[in-house]
Structure 1
Amino acid sequence: MNDLYNEIFQNQGEEVENVFSSSLFQEYLRTKLTQLFDQIEGKKHLIFDDQVKVALNLTLESSALSKLQVEVISHINNTQPENLSADKIIIFIQPNVEYLDQIKEYLDKENAPKPNQGKKAAANAQQQPKREFYLIYWPKRTTLCKEAQDEKGITDDQIRIIDFSFDLIPIDQDLLSLEMPSSFISMYLDNDFSTYCYVAESIQRLQIIYGKIPNIFLKGDGASIVMDILSADEETKGINQDYSQSEFETMILLDRNIDFITPLCSQLVYEGLIDDFYGINGNLLRISDGALIGLQAGKPVLMKLSSENNTIYSSIRDQQISKSREIVTSSALELQRIKDTIQNYKQNKTQDDLQKCIKIVEKITKDQKHIEDHVNLQCSIVEKMRTIEFYKDLMIEQSTILGVSSSQALEYIEMIIGLGAPLEKALRLLCLQSLVDKGIKPKQFDDIRKEIVHEYGFRHLITMMRLNQIGILNKQDGSKNYWPKLKENLKLVDDEVVIDNPQDPAYAFSGYCPLTVRLVEHALKRQTWKHIAEYIKNVPGKQDFPEPSKYSKLQNKSAILVYFIGGVTYGEISAIRLLSKITKREIVVATTHITNSKKLIQSVMKNDVV
């Protein structure tokens, strides 16, 4: 029994101690939220929007809300004035003016005189304390919301306004996110600079905990703006430039708009496939289509996708689907071996043996549930990947990346539009072709636009116009295309990538390596971008990096921070984890949010009006 016990639990105690601790951030956020709700005394009804719900799920257990006297929780879109309960009404939302009409209804209903109310009843009603309303904006109230409140007559006397920032939320042990998907449109379409301020503030808080970061790499105008904000704040406050106590050696700031190609590509690692097919919110997966055994019809379940206390998921999330299935099958066989071994310890064993046996059973029961979930999820994913539709889409995508004639891709796009495929699917391939070819030829562009209008409606002229404003979908204008040279010089395509035991981060996209990941790789291996500066200067956006002689190598154990402004894909995260393994450096990824092709296109399509 001792041998089996040590075999199962020994490795858990041998984990390498990292510089970064996600639990520290988790505890910080719990404390912040507890203090927020504690300052509002009494029984509470909490009303939230979609993104606040995700952030709360990532931060607090439902039991914690009960302890904070939150008796009722509901979504703002499903909460009518007559549904309000409890003495304290807390409305916790992102700064979206669309919600203010609903909030105005709550306040009007509360303050309206009751019909057919006698004098005595009216006097009693006046003596009863009125409900108190609190409007919490995450991360803060915008000028637009303030103006809309004034216009609608929502005054500070009626409702107390509170700004609250979740800051960076731990998604996994090496992954932090501001969980602000709306930031993509804010930055690239609305030219709203507030996201850059939130990113800068989150970096400042990281540096308060872990020390000033000595080496800064940046690429993209957004990354440059963030650094300008940080530098200006340091000058104003006179922050000490001592790096001796720093626990992060390098920060790499990357603006999403230097590489729009990657989020439009199919992710071929397990975690990326889950996100592409089902959509992961934070680290929670909502399954409702019968992909899991025992799932009742119409009854969705939530799965937490995190490596924390889940060695099965940790071992398969960054693998391609074939390898991840192999690992799960092997784990299932090992679990069966342990079960068979335990049968030999049922009789005539010491108390110590029995206690160890109980611990082993508890662990393998948990592991068995994880294995069952992923076996079924993998089967569902493989079934989707085996369709002709998926195969054809992937073939067109890969030929586009390789630079094969665009006519084949455009013909395929026109065909699927004619067949009424989902618009985001057609736009994904069209935008990918536009980015690789530096635009679509004018006549072909106009023909496809007409087909889109005919099949999907006039309102999607606005969708295409918005994609053009962002810089994802353009007509060719004769300007030089830097992509073929960039692809060649930075080796963004690896035809001989090994899937089972990868040594090149291109494995995450089956041979294509994102520009963002190559930049991280060069920063790690050479401590500078000077040797590739000539190649990346053609990529739009400012760049900065240390000179080789000025790179500060820390003597103490340290980590690397890679911050994506504008979103990161799970494929990129998996590729960076491989770099961490190869270089034996701890890397922490931070981002405004996690994205993929569907989320990106749908965010542009959202709220399109004629």
Structure 2
Amino acid sequence: MPGCLSSRLLDLKPQPPGPTHTPVGAGALPGRKDLFIDPALMPLLDRITGSSVLKKHEVDKFFKLDGKHIPGGCEQRFFLIRPEESMVKIVADSLNADKACSFRRKCKIIFTPRKLFCCDTILELEGVYGDVSCEEWECDLVPVYDDVLSMEIPAFFRDFFLEGNQCWLYTVAKSLCKLQSIYGTFGKVYGIGRSAKMVNELMEAFSGDFEDGTNGKGNNWSLFLIDRDVDFVTPLCSQVTFQGLLDDVFTIKCGSVEFGSEVTGSEKNVKINLGSGDKVFAEICDQHFSNVFGFLSSKAKTLQASYDKRHGMDIRNMKDFVANELRMLKQQHRFLSLYIGACEVIMKKKMKGDLKEQLKVEHALFEGTDTKRCISYIEECINRQCPLPEVLRLLCLLSVTEGGLLPNDLRNLKNHLLQSYGTEQLLTLANLRRAGLLADQQPLETMGKLVADKTVGKAVDVSNVTSSHLVLVFFLGGCSFSEIAALRFLGRSKGYRFVVGTTALTNSPRLLEALMDA
């Protein structure tokens, strides 16, 4: 687990990353080395450790591992990658390119969070197994916010819920056991779904492998394990909180967002961490988007009033103002300016996409009324060739809320979609069916049913579950910012403290793109 893990809800103190918490820290060979990084891991690495820390481990240069071979460089090369076939092949191609030039160097592949058996197989098939050493970097739960821990494994959703690959369950169970060893054993564990049951069984099997570092004085807390396929409706809905829309439009990566020229007003991009140090974001992140402009306007007036009070100050008071308040006011003003610019971009993009009409259609789906109007709207989106993930989102939402589609309606929509977006989308539609997002309506199926039969069971009231007031809710397959906002609201209403854990932070485009094969 990263040494920088910090969450006030778990009473953790920030710690600088130690030598084993950086990918090149544990067992690193002495001497200068180049580090090639899987592009998907760059936000994660930036969150955990900066370039200055890696420089201390004699990392000379950083490169994005994009398939282009870079000749020359240091005599040592480290490759930081996920255990994915495509990434291993890129590394093998780089090693073979060196061999073709008769250039010999020491190479090491660092797999995170673990190496899979298939990786060795690929290295053998590519003829480079003996030319490289391998290590694992167990980067488990990363604190992206004070109350959110993410494993940053977006592949979990497709691997488990579509392909039935259970390789990540071991990683999840081991991470949760590590969490218990640091902060105390979970008083009670609840789960719903197939992967939740498997993770719980693995946790019980691992229980003897981890010592209790709290000496029995750890947190009295509970764990909820929730499969993503238990509730597809929530991530398929349009997000209406500021943070949710920020993610939809700009994409939040590992707790950070990057704004381009349309927000900053200059050619230079600005990247900011959306953490607890940003008081402006902390106040607006979970607000309904319609309320954000008013809040930012009010905040701007308050900041201006704070600036204006410097007028008429004597030298002593002015010195105190500059030393204690001015820097904070300038920082808040900077954030305020960026968020106002982001709101303007969100308004332009969402209004262009007819957000109000989409919300009306979604409300009709939830109420189980006017299904024909909803189908007509989806057909209209197909005719306008709206972005495919948006069309698939509405189609899947219709299927899930209606407990499946009438065979004739499904056939017509499917043919309509294939004619507009191409027959290559057949694989995507097949994947949606396998994952349970698209289905035929069965006889005697209850209309307007939001959740599939697999979730039917005895409802659980949190107040009857735990007296600890500290609950870890872990989503297997991804969690949306809408769900995080809902849990924060529930915590404030009921007096509980929720920590959200997830295999990855997701939204409807990322959820559906994981199933797209065209």
TM (norm. structure 1) is 0.78
Superposed, which structure 2 residues align to 1:141-290 within 5 Å? 141-155=115-129, 157-234=130-207, 245-288=217-260, 290=261
2:270 corresponds to: 301
For 2:418, give the aligned amino acid.
V
**In structure 2, do the counterparts of structure 1 residues 230 and 190 end up closer, same or farther at CA, with 3 Å as the change threshold?**
same
For 2:22, give the aligned amino acid.
L
**In structure 2, do the counterparts of structure 1 residues 103 and 543 end up closer, same or farther at CA, with 3 Å as the change threshold?**
farther
Q: Give per-residue Cα distances to partners, 1:298-329, cap 9 Å, x unaligned.
A: x43323222x2111110110101232222222
Structure 1: distance between partners of 2:258 and 2:491: 30
1:553 corresponds to: 467
2:3 corresponds to: none
Give the conservation status (yes or no) of the 8 Å contact 1:219–1:543: no
Q: Secondary structure at the match of 2:479?
A: coil
1:322 corresponds to: 290
2:316 corresponds to: 349
2:366 corresponds to: 401
For 1:349, give the aligned amino acid.
R
For 1:421, give the aligned amino acid.
C
Structure 2: distance between partners of 1:55 and 1:18: 21
Structure 1 stretch 146-155 or stretch 566-575: which is displaced more? 146-155
Q: CA deviation at 1:19?
A: 4.5
**In structure 2, do the counterparts of structure 1 residues 33 and 326 end up closer, same or farther at CA, with 3 Å as the change threshold?**
same
Structure 2: distance between partners of 1:30 and 1:568: 31
**In structure 2, do the counterparts of structure 1 residues 75 and 450 end up closer, same or farther at CA, with 3 Å as the change threshold?**
same
Give the conservation status (yes or no) of the 8 Å contact 2:310–2:321: no
1:392 aligns with 2:357: yes
2:330 corresponds to: 365
Structure 1: distance between partners of 2:293 and 2:158: 37
Structure 2: distance between partners of 1:548 and 1:340: 48
For 1:292, give the aligned amino acid.
V
Structure 2: distance between partners of 1:377 and 1:59: 26
Give the conservation status (yes or no) of the 8 Å contact 2:9–2:499: no
Q: Secondary structure at the match of 1:176?
A: strand
Structure 1: distance between partners of 2:75 and 2:26: 14
Q: Secondary structure at the match of 2:489?
A: helix
For 1:44, give the aligned amino acid.
K
Q: 1:52 aligns with which of 38, 41, 50?
A: 41
Structure 2, gaps ≥5 residues long = 1-6
2:491 corresponds to: 580
**In structure 2, do the counterparts of structure 1 residues 224 and 458 end up closer, same or farther at CA, with 3 Å as the change threshold?**
same
**Larger RCO: 1 or 2 (CA < 8 Å, sep 6+):** 1
Q: CA deviation at 1:482?
A: 7.8
**In structure 2, do the counterparts of structure 1 residues 569 and 22 end up closer, same or farther at CA, with 3 Å as the change threshold?**
farther
Structure 2: distance between partners of 1:310 and 1:583: 26
Q: Give per-residue Cα distances to partners, 1:324-358, cap 9 Å, x unaligned.
A: 2222222211111111112222x4427xx614532
**In structure 2, do the counterparts of structure 1 residues 281 and 43 end up closer, same or farther at CA, with 3 Å as the change threshold?**
same
Q: 1:92 aligns with which of 62, 80, 85?
A: 80
Structure 2: distance between partners of 1:311 and 1:570: 18
Q: Secondary structure at the match of 1:281?
A: coil
**In structure 2, do the counterparts of structure 1 residues 90 and 553 end up closer, same or farther at CA, with 3 Å as the change threshold?**
same
2:416 corresponds to: 451
**In structure 2, do the counterparts of structure 1 residues 238 and 293 end up closer, same or farther at CA, with 3 Å as the change threshold?**
closer
Q: Secondary structure at the match of 2:423?
A: coil
**In structure 2, do the counterparts of structure 1 residues 113 and 417 end up closer, same or farther at CA, with 3 Å as the change threshold?**
closer
Q: CA deviation at 1:543?
A: 7.8
Give the conservation status (yes or no) of the 8 Å contact 1:270–1:321: yes
For 2:226, give the aligned amino acid.
L
2:300 corresponds to: 332
**In structure 2, do the counterparts of structure 1 residues 40 and 344 end up closer, same or farther at CA, with 3 Å as the change threshold?**
farther
2:348 corresponds to: 383
- The count of residues paired between Structure 1 and Structure 2 equals 512
1:61 corresponds to: 50
Q: CA deviation at 1:38?
A: 6.5
Q: CA deviation at 1:383?
A: 2.8
Q: Give per-residue Cα distances to partners, 1:96-149, cap 9 Å, x unaligned.
A: 1123333223222323355xxxxxxxxxx9xxxx42111111122222222222
Q: CA deviation at 1:448?
A: 1.6
Give the conservation status (yes or no) of the 8 Å contact 1:569–1:596: yes
2:501 corresponds to: 590
2:91 corresponds to: 103
Give the conservation status (yes or no) of the 8 Å contact 1:30–1:60: no
For 1:152, give the aligned amino acid.
E
2:10 corresponds to: 20
Structure 1: distance between partners of 2:463 and 2:249: 43
**In structure 2, do the counterparts of structure 1 residues 369 and 238 end up closer, same or farther at CA, with 3 Å as the change threshold?**
closer
Structure 1, gaps ≥5 residues long = 1-16, 115-124, 488-514, 516-535
Q: Secondary structure at the match of 2:443?
A: coil
Structure 1: distance between partners of 2:224 and 2:131: 45
Structure 2: distance between partners of 1:274 and 1:399: 25
Q: CA deviation at 1:69?
A: 2.1
1:292 aligns with 2:263: yes
Structural RMSD (CA): 2.8
Q: CA deviation at 1:171?
A: 0.3
For 1:364, give the aligned amino acid.
L
Structure 1 stretch 103-112 or stretch 260-269: which is displaced more? 103-112
Give the conservation status (yes or no) of the 8 Å contact 1:249–1:552: yes
Structure 1: distance between partners of 2:458 and 2:58: 50
Which of the two has higher C-alpha Rg? Answer: 1
**In structure 2, do the counterparts of structure 1 residues 541 and 131 end up closer, same or farther at CA, with 3 Å as the change threshold?**
farther
Q: 1:568 aligns with which of 479, 491, 497?
A: 479
Q: CA deviation at 1:37?
A: 5.9
**In structure 2, do the counterparts of structure 1 residues 237 and 39 end up closer, same or farther at CA, with 3 Å as the change threshold?**
closer
